Amino acid sequence: MHITADRGRCVGAAQCVLVAPAVFDQDEEGLVAPVTVDPAGADRPAVRQAVHLCPSSAIRIDEE
Ligand code: SF4
């Protein structure tokens, strides 16, 4: 799995940080700042949930 987070779309809702704190953080502007773009297997279900919860569709994942 590879994550692409589009900071231009991010509205700082923090849903991704709440559901997958090991993978997503926010910078000082409140915008998404991934901790890693290649999450460990145990974190992947939470990453998929973050994709669904993000209100601005700012997170994309490549499952390969
Ligand atoms: S859930 Fe979406 S809008 Fe909210 S901080 Fe994460 S990437 Fe940004």
* 22 to 36, 50, 52: CA distances (angstroms): 8, 12, 17
Burial track 40-59 (b if 16+ CB lie within 10 A, e otherwise)? eeebbebbbebbeebeeebb
Centre of ligand 1 to C-alpha 6, Å, is 9
Q: What is the pLDDT of residue 61?
A: 98
The structure tokens 């589009």 sit at 6
CATH number for the 2-62 domain, one of 1.10.10.10, 3.30.70.20, 1.10.150.170, 3.30.420.40?
Answer: 3.30.70.20
Q: What is the pLDDT of residue 41?
A: 97
Q: What is the pLDDT of residue 64?
A: 81
> Would you list the domain boundaries of the chain?
2-62
Taking only the tens of pLDDT, the chain with its 64 residues reads: 999 999 999 999 999 999 999 999 999 999 999 999 999 999 999 999 999 999 999 999 999 8
How far apart are the C-alpha atoms of 56 and 41, rounded to whole Å?
Answer: 25
Centre of ligand 1 to C-alpha 18, Å, is 10
